[in-house]
Amino acid sequence: MASSKDDLERLLKREYVAGFITDIEADTVPPGLDESVIRLISAKKEEPAFLLEWRLAAYRHWLTLREPRWAKVAYPPIDYQAISYYSAPKSGADAPQSLDEVDPKLLETYEKLGIPLHERARLAGVAVDAVFDSVSVATTFKEKLREAGVIFCSFSEAVREHPELVRQYLGSVVPHTDNFYAALNAAVFTDGSFVYVPPGVRCPMELSTYFRINAANTGQFERTLIIADAGSHVSYLEGCTAPMRDENQLHAAVVELVALEDATIKYSTVQNWYPGDEQGRGGIYNFVTKRGDCRGDRAKITWTQVETGSAITWKYPSCILRGAGSVGEFYSVATTNNHQQADTGTKMIHIGPNTRSTIVSKGISARHGQQTYRGLVKVLPSAEGARNHTQCDSLLMGDRCGAHTVPYIEVKNPSAQVEHEATTSRIGEDQLFYCRQRGISAEDAVNMIVNGFCKDVFQVLPMEFAVEAQKLLSVSLEGAVG
Amino acid sequence: MLQIDDLQVSVEDRPILKGLTLKVNAGEVHAIMGPNGSGKSTLAAVLAGREGYVHTGGAVHYRGQDLLALAPEERAREGVFLGFQYPVEIPGVNNVYLLKASLNAQRRHRGEPELDAFEFLRLVCEQMAFMGIPEEFLRRSVNEGFSGGEKKRNEILQMLILQPRLAILDEIDSGLDIDALKVVSRGIEALRSPDRAMILVTHYQRLLDYVTPDFVHVLAGGRIVRSGGKELARELEAEGYGAVVAGAGA
């Protein structure tokens, strides 16, 4: 790394004097992380000075931190110097030129998930231009949004077009000091989504990453910022049901949501990152910090998630209930099959008066899967009249998987009402046989029982996700009984 | 319809059925009685296809097919119905949803059109009224929170909707009070038909006061040791199993 580092520094110093870098020959930075890499990333993206400084502050802070090991997940140590922190989007020449060149097993999964033919090509990374005109579809939506005054673009674009908004809100919900991975993300984040909804506006459609132009290869350190101004409403969908592969093993994203007075944000995630093979090798580590700030009175933030992928999932989408009468909700279905591990849950922090939070967590473990629900309900002394209801249920399929529950409840106001209910159950042989004796196949019976188990969460998913989620669950739990 | 020849079945290396032979024709109602541990429930389980039972000898033919070679759901779709002795609860799965899925699975198998939600609901409500099951049933999960008697009534309701060719009722009368027994019996009688065969596995003669069997068999030591008409049941009631079994030299 030493000699390339020298080269880079020379290159950067020279270019920096001249102004922003336009054409850099090297498309990928060699593995390793230090200040010069960060300067390079920032320069490539043509970021203003404030953002570079923000990144560097985060990086310097990151150097002082130690990787957390308190979660109930086990993995070999990550070598942060072995990761490449920047690579340009793949050129069309390397991508498969048609579906014929795509791994047939991947195509089989698309088939099972009922993904439309034209979408399969895009998902498989086939050179898009060769397949269909994606630009016109996205353009129509951009028009509608523009009419409503909604800003929905890539984070990079937002930095260029709306730097004042970015500067105002970035890091205000998840500061770089928050945790090890948030610090790393703040230093090296690549791209993500930016949404701003003006006061009183109800976003005319659900925003999906599918329609965000330029999503190539940005999954590794994604950074998303959504701001719903007073009285506005927005629903955002992240991810897709198709299994996504990536050479990059570590995914440390940060999502910040800000809801002002009377605003509502619904953030839905369907995560199906590659979970590794049957021995658990090669899967994605999904270490994510997601947090929503109900900054204004009567603001409401809802997190819904269906997590079926990744070798390791480590995330706690949370809500800070600052505004009076604000509401936070968390609905989650997480499955761990084979050797997947998940330590996931939420944090509801009640600060303002008359705040409410609802937590519904459904965990399904199969084969050797290990899953932990870790939740925090915190009621500060100022949170007069706080209400929380938590329901966390585990379903075990087989006798080698595990489900663990670690609820933290800290209440410092005597007027609070906090309820916690938890159940653990197995899909029993008796139940399966009952269904089969009525003419239902074993697979359909499992799906029926699992869907019944997840019903409370599926009911709050945006419609398109709800249908996909059911299919996704049945595919990801395939063969788990037996 | 059902031909069982010298059936031998073991559970965990212990022989339970030791050469059971039985023939059941369409239109007939057979009662199988016997002391505890004689193998009555094992017979029901084996016919339905439950796991854990090892077939060590003999054969079972159902409408000309080798029944034991079929998966449980295949047997169900061919018209075999088991009324469970202890119906299990399935939280989160709605009663009506399960029933509709079952009926349509069987209809699909027979090449018949599936029923839509409205048609099915109408059918269910009719039968629910007949069985005296309250409307609330529509909203509950399978057997969840049901009393023993309610579970048995649910079994009969399912039978009425699925219209099986061969119905095997495993101790349908256990845990029922007189009123529940009458309602259940009414359901069973409603299903008596020249195209249908029924096997009632039971301990007690009481059920047979309400549902008159065509044949009564005594199962003891894993075999049918005696067969007769409905009077045999009265004889058992009067003299107990010991005498009858001893008399048969089992």
Residues B155-212 pLDDT 10s: 999 999 999 999 999 999 888 888 889 999 999 999 999 999 999 999 888 889 899 9
8 A C-beta contact, residue A304 and residue A461: yes
Predicted confidence (pLDDT) per residue in A57-95, tens digit? 999 999 999 988 888 888 877 888 877 777 665 545 566
The CATH code of the domain that includes B156 is 3.40.50.300
Strands (DSSP E) contained in A124-263 are: 151-154, 193-197, 207-208, 223-228, 233-239, 250-251, 254-259
- A chain contacts of residue B156, beta-carbon cutoff 8 Å: none
* B51 CB within 8 Å of a chain A CB: yes
Q: Which pLDDT band holds residue B92 (cuts at 50, 70, 90)?
A: confident
* A437 CB within 8 Å of a chain B CB: yes
What are the tokens at A224? 């998303």
Q: Please give the pLDDT value at position A118.
A: 61
Q: Cβ contacts of residue A125 below 8 Å, gap of 6+?
A: A90, A95, A96
Angstrom distance (rounded) from CA B21 to CA B35 = 18
- B chain contacts of residue A442, beta-carbon cutoff 8 Å: 73
Q: Please give the pLDDT value at position A22.
A: 27
Q: Please give the pLDDT value at position A33.
A: 87
Sign for the CA dihedral angle at A137, A139, A142, A144 comes to negative
Half-sphere exposure of A417 (CA within 13 A, CB side): 6
* A68 CB within 8 Å of a chain B CB: no
Q: Please give the pLDDT value at position B221.
A: 86
* B102 CB within 8 Å of a chain A CB: yes
Q: Residue B166: which domain range? A: 2-247
pTM here? 0.79
- Average pLDDT value for chain A: 82
What are the tokens at B37? 């541990």
Q: Which residues pair with A196 in a beta bridge?
A: A151, A227
Check residue A338 and report its DSSP letter: T
Q: Which residue has the tokens 């999932």?
A: A313
Residue contact A438–B162, C-beta within 8 A: yes
Residue contact B73–A440, C-beta within 8 A: yes
Going by their DSSP bridges, the two strands A417-426 and A264-271 should be labelled as unpaired
User: Looking at the 3D structure of chain B, how many domains does it have?
Assistant: 1
Strands (DSSP E) contained in A158-242 are: 193-197, 207-208, 223-228, 233-239
Segments of chain A with pLDDT less than 70: 1-28, 87-97, 103, 105-106, 109-110, 113-140, 210-219, 240-248, 280, 479-482
Residue contact B90–A451, C-beta within 8 A: no
Q: Please give the pLDDT value at position A110.
A: 67
Angstrom distance (rounded) from CA B66 to CA B59 = 7
- A chain contacts of residue B94, beta-carbon cutoff 8 Å: 452
- B chain contacts of residue A362, beta-carbon cutoff 8 Å: none
Q: Please give the pLDDT value at position A15.
A: 30
Sign for the CA dihedral angle at B72, B73, B79, B81 comes to positive
Predicted confidence (pLDDT) per residue in B97-118, tens digit? 999 999 999 999 999 999 988 9
User: How far is the first Cα of chain B from the last one, in angstroms, to the nearest whole number?
Assistant: 27
- B chain contacts of residue A437, beta-carbon cutoff 8 Å: 48-49, 72-73, 75-76, 81-82, 84
Predicted confidence (pLDDT) per residue in A247-278, tens digit? 667 888 999 999 999 999 999 998 887 777 77
* A425 CB within 8 Å of a chain B CB: yes
Count the Cβ atoms, other than its own, within 10 Å of residue A104. 9
- Residue A163 CB-density burial (10 A; 0-12 exposed, 13-18 middle, 19+ buried): middle
Average pLDDT over residues B141-168: 93
Which residue, among A476, A480, A481, A116, has the nearest Cα to A272 in the 3D structure?
A476
- A chain contacts of residue B49, beta-carbon cutoff 8 Å: 436-437
Strands (DSSP E) contained in A13-157 are: 151-154
Q: How far is CA A62 from CA A29, A30, A40, A314, in A?
A: 20, 20, 18, 19
What are the tokens at A148? 């409503």
Q: Which of A431, A437, A470, A473 to mutate to test the interface with B (most CBs of B within 10 A)?
A: A437
Angstrom distance (rounded) from CA B30 to CA B46 = 17
Going by their DSSP bridges, the two strands B2-11 and B54-62 should be labelled as antiparallel
